[in-house]
């Protein structure tokens, strides 16, 4: 196994080990929750140049195919008008035994900010504050899941010899949650097992000057933390982080304490 393949498997493992954000119905949408076993081997290829979201979709397919009763019907079919204008796509259609299922897939990184809104869901915001959990759930409910029933989807379903009303709809929603540094959060709606680190502001960087730092690339945000990376001292990484702060970019970091404990975190520019 070469280093590139090794890394894809490590990304898949990090994805597989991430918990589902919802363990019961949310906004009337049902999560797909399958029994979890030993992490399978990812056998897909051609992932090197695709974005994180598409990579996760391939990972979900690999997980689903571990179940003997699941048959994938199609992945990411483009739904178009008669004039070939694309109005959206369906993430995955599959058979669970004889039951057709329409699955919409999400894998997100959210920072928990109690200054936003009044509920756990409203408190969740992306690292760059460009996307929020409440917006994503509304989009799933109002746009992505209803696409199955659009008239433009009928030709695809006809080719599969199925009708929209035959399908059950499910969401596959995994997330890694980050809470404010040195703060405890008790979750009741969101799965507390999704908490995997903390976040802090650039103004707090000096609190970590005795730590070692590693900044993973975006596709490696998936990885479970490990000792086997190229660690930098505070002084070595500070110039890079100063540039990110000026650009108002909020990167993921791994921090290693003197006793070897490793934490996954975000440093934020807001």
The model's confidence at residue 140, banded by pLDDT at 50, 70 and 90, is very high
Q: How many domains does the chain have?
A: 2
Same domain as 216, residue 183: no
The pLDDT of residue 172 is 98
State the Cα–Cα distance between residues 197 and 223, nearest whole angstrom.
Answer: 13
Tokens standing for residue 25: 């119905």
pLDDT digits (tens, 9 = 90+) for 30-69: 999 999 889 988 877 667 667 788 889 999 999 999 999 9
Does residue 1 register a pLDDT over 60? no
Does residue 100 register a pLDDT over 50? yes
Q: What is the rounded average pLDDT for all residues in the chain? A: 93
pLDDT digits (tens, 9 = 90+) for 146-180: 999 999 999 999 999 999 999 999 999 999 999 99
Tokens standing for residue 140: 């799933």
Q: Which residue has the tokens 């029994």?
A: 35
Same domain as 14, residue 128: yes
The pLDDT of residue 48 is 67
Average pLDDT over residues 236-260: 96
The pLDDT of residue 49 is 67
CB 157 within 8 A of CB 77: no
Q: Which of 170, 196, 222 is the last residue of a domain?
A: 196
Same domain as 67, residue 116: yes
The pLDDT of residue 229 is 94
Same domain as 146, residue 172: yes
CA angle 249, 253, 255 (to 5 degrees): 145
The pLDDT of residue 233 is 97
Does residue 102 register a pLDDT over 50? yes
State the Cα–Cα distance between residues 165 and 112, nearest whole angstrom.
Answer: 37
Same domain as 176, residue 223: no
The conformation of residue 128, written as its DSSP 8-state character, comes to T
Q: Which of 133, 163, 196 is the last residue of a domain?
A: 196
CA angle 125, 241, 208 (to 5 degrees): 85
Same domain as 123, residue 36: yes
Question: Looking at the DSSP assignment, which residues form a beta bridge with residue 173?
Answer: 106
The pLDDT of residue 139 is 97
The pLDDT of residue 67 is 94
Does residue 78 register a pLDDT over 90? yes
Same domain as 88, residue 102: yes
Helix, strand, or coil here: 266?
Answer: strand
205 φ/ψ sector (left φ>0, alpha ψ -120 to 50, else beta): alpha
Same domain as 79, residue 147: yes
Which pTM value belongs to this model? 0.93
What is the number of residues in the chain? 270
Same domain as 191, residue 72: yes
Same domain as 212, residue 132: no
pLDDT digits (tens, 9 = 90+) for 187-241: 999 999 999 999 999 999 999 999 999 999 998 999 999 999 999 999 999 999 9
Average pLDDT over residues 88-115: 97
Full domain range(s) for residue 106: 3-196
């Amino acid at each position: 196994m070469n280093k590139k393949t090794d890394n894809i498997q490590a990304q898949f493992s990090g994805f597989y080990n991430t918990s589902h954000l919802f363990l019961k119905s949310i906004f009337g949408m049902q999560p797909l929750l399958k029994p979890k076993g030993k992490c399978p081997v990812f056998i897909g290829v051609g992932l090197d140049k695709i974005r994180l979201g598409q990579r996760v979709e391939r990972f979900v397919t690999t997980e689903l195919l571990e179940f003997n009763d699941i048959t994938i019907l199609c992945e990411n079919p483009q739904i178009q008008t008669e004039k070939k204008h694309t109005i959206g796509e369906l993430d995955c259609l599959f058979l669970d035994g004889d039951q057709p299922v329409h699955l919409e897939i999400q894998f997100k990184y959210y920072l928990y900010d109690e200054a936003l809104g009044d509920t756990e869901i409203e408190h969740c915001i992306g690292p760059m504050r460009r996307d929020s959990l409440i917006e994503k759930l509304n989009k799933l409910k109002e746009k992505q899941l209803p696409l199955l029933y659009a008239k433009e989807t009928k030709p695809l379903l006809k080719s599969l010899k199925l009708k929209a009303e035959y399908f059950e709809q499910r969401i596959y929603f995994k997330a890694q949650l980050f809470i404010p540094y040195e703060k405890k959060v008790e979750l009741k709606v969101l799965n507390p097992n999704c908490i995997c680190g903390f976040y802090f502001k650039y103004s707090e960087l000096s609190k970590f000057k005795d730590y070692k730092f590693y900044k993973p690339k975006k596709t490696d945000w998936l990885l479970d933390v490990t000792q086997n990376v190229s660690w930098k001292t505070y002084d070595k990484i500070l110039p890079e982080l100063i540039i990110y702060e000026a650009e108002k970019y909020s990167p993921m970091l791994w921090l290693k304490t003197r006793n070897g404990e490793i934490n996954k975190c975000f440093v934020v520019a807001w």
